[in-house]
A and B are shown apart, each in its own frame.
Chain A
Amino acid sequence: MGNEEAVFYSRVLTELTLSFHIIYATIGVGVPLMIMIAQWVGIKKNDEHYILLARRWARGFIITVAVGVVTGTAIGLQLSLLWPNFMELAGNVIALPLFLETFAFFFEAIFLGIYLYTWDRFENQKKHLLLLIPVAVGASFSAVFITMVNAFMNAPRGFDISNGELININPLLAMFNPAMPTKVAHVVVTAYMTAAFVLAAIAAFRLLKGSNHVYHKKALYLTMKIGLVFAIAAAIVGDFSGKYLAEYQPEKLAAAEWHFETEENAPLIMYGVLDDGEVKYAIKIPFGLSFLAHSSFTAEVVGLDQFPEDEVPPLYIHYLFDLMVTIGVGMIALAGIYWIGMKRRWKIIHAKWFRWLIVLGGPLSIIAIEAGWWLAEVGRQPWVLRGLMRTEDAATTSGQVDLMLILFALLYLILGVGSVVILTRMFRKNPVEQEIEDRETEKGGDVL
């Protein structure tokens, strides 16, 4: 296997691993907050349905954590094996958040164990709820620290290179690089949003399958409201990300928007296809890109004409951008209609087709996350470390990467199928209605 093949297979394997890991990582970051909110509402309103929501979500959450640990370890292993030259530099400059991410995970895992073991062992449920704070904080900070490393790859800071040697290393400057705030906030709010919409999809599915229990109705209303809040937050932070890109990574913004010529009053191009370098069938929003990039309708936006051809990211990232934004806006509309419909008692929101749309919203949110990460990673190409190290220079020269790809693909297949089978069986064997009955018996009365 030549070096080109090794680079190709290394990229495919890394993309596969990240694409698989991000599903479990996103749910792993978002669900603890959802559990915390449900339990808090349950305690505040003395409503056992919300407490039961927290209990059942926590059980499912353990499975996603277990798979996330395996895939997270695979990423760590692959970073060292597939990208040794990048890790040599990164190990000297940005190792701190990589270590902190591990500590954040331990923090989460230890308190998660105590939290799960101590259900019904506290007389005061508020004390039990306190155990969830480190779980939710640890889960979110795992995402914060690992996103700091990704942000560093987009805007490397905190060191100088002199005669091939790293000098003036400042890990804190590397961590708090210009890409960090928008990236961290976007990753965390979209994780909360996705977790909410995945849980909403499950509740809507149960209602579609014949259960009319108020438990599912409360679950649906709670998750759709929270999903709406974080979908709006994701859109706002997405706008800030556009402004960051215009300032620090203009080639990524220009490639994502098919903005070829530097110009003032730049239009925003939505959808369309690229045919021989010509944009066809697109919707052009006049002055849209100037406003997105600089909050001014007349501002100049740097185009791809300002960059050498070999430093222009692949132009297919425009489709990824469109996909992510379309799903995001669609979910805001869906959750917004549902929320207003519940307030105004619209019948439409209880229609089967509307509930199927909510069910579809779960996987669509995950697809939006995938599209977003592909946009972020492919949009940084040809660099692994923007402006400093090209992807092909960072990769291994090993001849065994194709074999690794097959073995890891098999592992992910087993983990993916296994986790879905376990989660389905776990909840089928213990339906909500049965558990509510059991808890009523336990509590010695009609408490639910």
Chain B
Amino acid sequence: MTHFLMFYAPFIVLFGGIAAAFIIAPMDGAVYKQMENEKK
């Protein structure tokens, strides 16, 4: 287990982080809701 955490898991976290960044990046509905609230 320790071997996996030291040698493989770091790359899984790195590539997982990049994938997660691309997945959440287009989700900007909260910004438009913020704009609507400010207009009210």
A221 and B13 contact, Cβ closer than 8 Å, known pairs A181-B6, A230-B21, A240-B5: no
**Cβ of A221 and Cβ of B31 under 8 Å apart?**
yes
Measured in the bound complex, the distance between the Cα atoms of B20 and A296 in whole Å is 29
Q: Chain B contacts of A188 at CB under 8 A?
A: 14
Q: Which of A6-62 contact B (CB under 8 A)?
A: 33, 37-38, 40-41, 44-45
**Cβ of B25 and Cβ of A233 under 8 Å apart?**
no
Q: Chain B contacts of A233 at CB under 8 A?
A: 13-14, 16-17
Measured in the bound complex, the distance between the Cα atoms of B40 and A341 in whole Å is 18
Q: Chain A contacts of B38 at CB under 8 A?
A: 212
**Residue from B16, B30, B38 having most chain A Cβ neighbours under 10 A:** B30
User: Which residue of chain B has the shortest Cβ distance to A184 in the bound complex?
Assistant: B10
B4-27 CB mask vs A (1 if < 8 Å, else 0) is 011111110110111011101111
What size tier do the contact residues of chain B reach?
20 to 34
User: Which residue of chain B has the shortest Cβ distance to A294 in the bound complex?
Assistant: B2
A240 and B18 contact, Cβ closer than 8 Å, known pairs A226-B25, A295-B1: no
A182-225 CB mask vs B (1 if < 8 Å, else 0) is 10111011001000000000000000000010100110011001
User: Which residue of chain A has the shortest Cβ distance to B3 in the bound complex?
Assistant: A247
Q: How far is the CB of B33 from chain A (nearest CB, A)?
A: 7
The A interface is mostly helix, strand or loop, or mixed, namely helix
A218 and B31 contact, Cβ closer than 8 Å, known pairs A226-B21, A243-B6, A247-B2: yes
A232-262 CB mask vs B (1 if < 8 Å, else 0) is 1100110010011001000000000000000
**Residue from B11, B20, B28, B30 having most chain A Cβ neighbours under 10 A:** B28
**Residue from A38, A247, A342 having most chain B Cβ neighbours under 10 A:** A342
A218 and B9 contact, Cβ closer than 8 Å, known pairs A185-B14, A342-B34, A345-B33: no
Measured in the bound complex, the distance between the Cα atoms of B20 and A263 in whole Å is 39
Q: Chain A contacts of B17 at CB under 8 A?
A: 189, 192, 229-230, 232-233
Measured in the bound complex, the distance between the Cα atoms of B27 and A171 in whole Å is 44
Measured in the bound complex, the distance between the Cα atoms of B1 and A59 in whole Å is 45
- Is A272 positioned at the interface, with any CB of B under 8 Å from its CB? no
Measured in the bound complex, the distance between the Cα atoms of B8 and A33 in whole Å is 23
**Cβ of B25 and Cβ of A225 under 8 Å apart?**
yes
Q: Chain B contacts of A244 at CB under 8 A?
A: 6
Q: Chain B contacts of A243 at CB under 8 A?
A: 2, 5-6
Q: Chain B contacts of A226 at CB under 8 A?
A: 21, 24-25
- Is A429 positioned at the interface, with any CB of B under 8 Å from its CB? no
**Cβ of A182 and Cβ of B25 under 8 Å apart?**
no
Measured in the bound complex, the distance between the Cα atoms of B6 and A247 in whole Å is 10
A346-369 CB mask vs B (1 if < 8 Å, else 0) is 000010000000000000000000
**Cβ of A345 and Cβ of B2 under 8 Å apart?**
no
- Could you name 28 residue pairs across A and B whose Cβ atoms are closer than 8 Å? A37-B21, A37-B22, A41-B25, A41-B26, A44-B26, A45-B28, A178-B6, A181-B8, A185-B10, A188-B14, A189-B13, A192-B17, A212-B38, A221-B30, A221-B31, A225-B24, A226-B21, A229-B20, A233-B13, A237-B10, A237-B14, A240-B5, A240-B6, A243-B6, A244-B6, A294-B2, A295-B5, A345-B37
| Interface of A toward B, CB cutoff 8 Å | 33, 37-38, 40-41, 44-45, 178, 181-182, 184-186, 188-189, 192, 212, 214, 217-218, 221-222, 225-226, 229-230, 232-233, 236-237, 240, 243-244, 247, 294-295, 342-343, 345, 350
Given contacts A188-B14, A189-B13, A221-B28, 19 further A-B contacts (CB under 8 A): A40-B25, A181-B10, A182-B6, A182-B10, A185-B13, A189-B14, A192-B21, A214-B35, A217-B34, A222-B28, A233-B13, A233-B16, A237-B10, A237-B14, A243-B5, A247-B2, A247-B6, A295-B1, A295-B5
